[in-house]
A and B are shown apart, each in its own frame.
Chain A
Amino acid sequence: MSAEGGSSRRIERDKTRFDDIVRGHIKHDLKRYITGGEMIGRKGRQLVSIPVPRIELPRLRFGRNGRGRGAGQGEGGGDGSAGEGAGSGAAGSQAGQHILEVELSLEEMAAILGEELELPNIQPRGRSRMTSPSRRFTSLRHTGPRSLRHMRRTWKQALRRQISEGSFDPARPRIVPNSDDVRYRSWKETTRPDHAAMILYMMDVSGSMGREQKEIVRLVSFWIDTWLRSQYQSLETRYVVHDAVAKEVDQETFYRLRESGGTKISSAYALAADLVGQHFPAAEWNIYLFHFSDGDNWSGRDTEKCLSLLKEKLLPDANLFCYGQVKSAYGSGQFKKDLDQALATDTRVISAEILDREGILPAIKAFLGKGL
């Protein structure tokens, strides 16, 4: 559904009408898609099925009927948001229609998310010297998976061999490829200049961060990721968890791990500074730092340490530092206050409080709303 080309051809107008119907519906339920979690784990061009009512036209057609069903067709339901208005008044004047699954890629979802939250497009910092590989299937190999067999080249190869062997009979043109004849499609790599971004997610996994808190972090991170991926062609993500000590983990562990014990936020920031310093020079990378915690730090002194790490090490190189404070039963929420107080003037620092799932969309908007 991306608006490729600025064509004013008729079909583009019809497609816009269709897009409006689909987008209108998705926007209407956007919160449910964002906070429901069923999209998690999907990537870029993978398709997401969105059920859109009112699109498939009903017809008198043959079909199976589930047995023992009542007459009425319920209107969707199940999204928990009761109290919707009764709909248009004039009975019978509207086309009765059915639910159709429309397939969208996650990129398209990101575009809709961006539209709805009015997220500005990001202007990548500086001129990048980075290049990113791109693959095109323009070459052939002798080995490969069956699914990539190149039939025409295989048969031509077999024909060539049989002619040279003298086993080809034009009167009975039977060609049987052997395993040496088989050719497979393969790719060539080319590179092109590109803006690159890295995202570092840090999460407090101390005892006070419960299951629901982690789920919220997961959802926020996933949509941030999706949005930034729609903005940058190459994106690296790194994950750090911390309680009193910090360590780098993979994505899986990031969301699953449940530690216990105290919280020293400075440990995460120190590790972050090391990681970025070593692997992601600011001249080449756009650097995004996200930290999620329930705001309960070990001591005021550690918070001091955090602030100085931020000011001296992290912020100078970063596009953005976002702090999301997820409310937990135990957290005091003091860290956000301290952070806001100390760094209120720095536009690259954004903090948001996320009380529950309702807070997910506002937090995403707060974090990404500046287009940094």
Chain B
Amino acid sequence: MARPDASLLALQHAVEAQAREEGLDVPEVVYELVDHRELNEIAAYGGFPVRYPHWRFGMEYDRLLKGHSYGLQRIYELVVNTQPVVAYLLRQNSPLEQKLVMAHVCGHADFFRHNAWFAHTDLNMLDVMAGHAARVRSLADQRGMELVEGFIDVVQSIDNLIDVSALARARGRPGNAPPLDRAPPDGDVLGHLLLRAPLAEWQQEILGLLRDEAYYFAPQMLTKIMNEGWASFWHSRLMTGSLLRDAEVVDYACQHAGAMGGDDGPMNPYKLGLELYRHLLAAGPAGSAGAFGRGRGLDRLFEARAVHNDLTFVDSVLDEDFCRSRGLGQDAAECAAVRESLLASLTNGGQPVVRVVDSSGDLELEHIWSGSELQLDQAEETLRNLHALWRRPVRLRTRLENRAVLLTGTGDGVVREYGEVLPGRP
């Protein structure tokens, strides 16, 4: 790892000056130059140089390294939402690529500081993560790696069971996870476990750390399209507006096209986000005037990036006109279907909504039906894990097609019972 040299710093200065000129609020950004192994390492750790020890990070690293060596994927940059913002640059990027990446990073940095869903995130997260890592490591030294890692396996299998809506109510309060001085919200299954499950002290500590990390990462999950779209919108605008030299235009176009393409087609979050912002800038959806607030032109974009998450952003910007012009659908019905399936995939960050009905004795959970089934074999395994923590029966109400299903996890395994036929579409 190394700090940028004078020429890169000059480039950074020029890019950021231009970004500020055009209205972005770019906080202090510190760049680190890394080679591809270091970058893959940091990417495997979710953007951080240090995480707690666990084999899953090693698995992810292995996957990234292989993807890199087979030429399937290449990471250009990583940005971490901290104070100052830390961004990693691949050392062998060409000067043009570094310029492009820096312009892109300006967008992310602005987004982190202004999007409401990030309002409460702990900006010392580099230190916090390192602290978590040190704690887990020392617990592993005391208790044994196998035991600690096995427990983390269990916690990771349920760390999506948090209440992301708590993020919206967290204005002005620092810290990632909702504090547990009051009863946790119904959706915060991890919080309920932390308060009531009969855990050993070390288990409780680890569960607490992982819950905090889960809440830290949640806003990024909720704003993937918006965040990448915003960064892409700005790198495109800054580069083609003034930063590109003539000789770089074709190379830039190729890089940009590469980032916007890919297997996901129009659903590539970079591409989709960029197009949504452009759509919003160009017209604003017909018939929903006013939904975009007061401003005109860019102001409307700045406001959108401050208040929305992916779900609400797509909901208010993606209209029939957008679908038709971007080739997502040809008629009203097709466009409605595209909208609906995209919105469904974005609801609750793509995770099922599960809430605690009762945690005073046995743990009673309910899956709030939104039209999609849980994968039941996995749900059963998850219930086993929940029972391992709760040590009393754990029940989950969900449905399969149009029938109610009750899963009960006990020490003897998981039992599946089918209940009454429910109304509504399967």
Contacts and interface: CB of A to CB of B under 8 A. Distances in A.
A86 B46 CA distance: 37
A299 B232 CA distance: 80
Contact of B62 (A1, A65, A69): A1
Contact of B59 (A18, A71, A97, A151): A18
A146 interface: no
B74 to A, nearest CB: 15
Contact of A96 (B145, B376, B382): B382
Contact of A59 (B157, B253, B414): B157
Interface stretch (A9-17, A31-39, A350-358): A9-17
A98 B62 contact: no
Contacts of B41: 9-11
B378 interface: yes
B220 to A, nearest CB: 18
Contacts of A13: 53, 58
Contacts of A98: 377-378, 381
A10 B254 contact: no
A91 interface: yes
Given A21-B55, A63-B374, A65-B376, A96 B381 contact: yes
Contact of B375 (A57, A62, A97): A62
Interface in B101-124: none
A239 B376 CA distance: 53
Name, among B50, B133, B354, B414, the residue most crowded by chain A CB atoms within 10 Å (CB to CB): B414
Contacts of A55: 59
Nearest to B251: A152
Interface stretch (B148-156, B264-272, B288-296): B148-156
Contacts of B251: 152
A15 to B, nearest CB: 4
Nearest to B344: A62
A58 interface: yes
Name, among A14, A63, A65, the residue most crowded by chain B CB atoms within 10 Å (CB to CB): A14
Contacts of A71: 380, 414-416
Interface in A126-173: 151-152, 155-156, 159
A190 interface: no
Interface string B353-384: 01000000000000100001111111111101
A92 interface: yes
A16 to B, nearest CB: 7
Contacts of A96: 157, 380-382, 384-385
A19 B54 CA distance: 12
Given A16-B58, A18-B62, A155-B254, A92 B388 contact: yes
A8 interface: no
Name, among B157, B161, B411, the residue most crowded by chain A CB atoms within 10 Å (CB to CB): B157
B66 interface: yes
Given A95-B157, A155-B250, A60 B379 contact: yes
B253 A155 contact: yes
Contacts of B377: 58, 65, 69, 73, 98
A7 to B, nearest CB: 8
B73 interface: no
A59 B382 contact: yes
Interface in A26-48: none
Contact of A65 (B375, B412, B415): B375
A93 interface: yes
Majority-rule SS of B interface residues: helix
Contacts of B58: 11, 13-19
B206 interface: no
Name, among B56, B409, B415, the residue most crowded by chain A CB atoms within 10 Å (CB to CB): B56
B388 A93 contact: yes
A234 to B, nearest CB: 21
A92 B376 contact: no
B385 A61 contact: no
B54 A91 contact: no
B98 interface: no
A10 B45 CA distance: 10
A94 interface: yes
B84 interface: no
Interface string A85-122: 00000011111111000010000000000000000000
B160 A59 contact: yes
B254 A95 contact: no
B375 A61 contact: yes
Contact of A64 (B145, B375, B391): B375
Contacts of B149: 17
A14 B376 contact: no
B145 to A, nearest CB: 8
B362 to A, nearest CB: 14
A119 B53 CA distance: 32
A91 B411 contact: yes
B150 A94 contact: yes
Contact of A11 (B57, B352, B379): B57
What 3 pairs between A and B have smallest CB-CB spacing? Answer: A63-B375, A58-B381, A14-B58
Interface of B: 37, 41, 44-45, 50-51, 53-59, 61-62, 66, 133, 145, 149-150, 153-154, 156-158, 160-161, 250-251, 253-254, 257, 350-352, 354, 367, 372-382, 384-385, 387-388, 391, 396, 400, 409-416
19 contacts: A10-B53, A11-B41, A15-B59, A15-B62, A16-B58, A17-B58, A55-B59, A57-B153, A58-B380, A60-B354, A60-B382, A61-B378, A65-B400, A69-B377, A71-B414, A73-B380, A95-B388, A96-B384, A96-B385
Given A11-B44, A65-B375, A73-B380, 15 more contacts: A11-B57, A13-B53, A14-B44, A15-B59, A15-B61, A17-B145, A18-B55, A58-B157, A62-B352, A65-B376, A73-B377, A92-B411, A95-B384, A151-B254, A156-B250
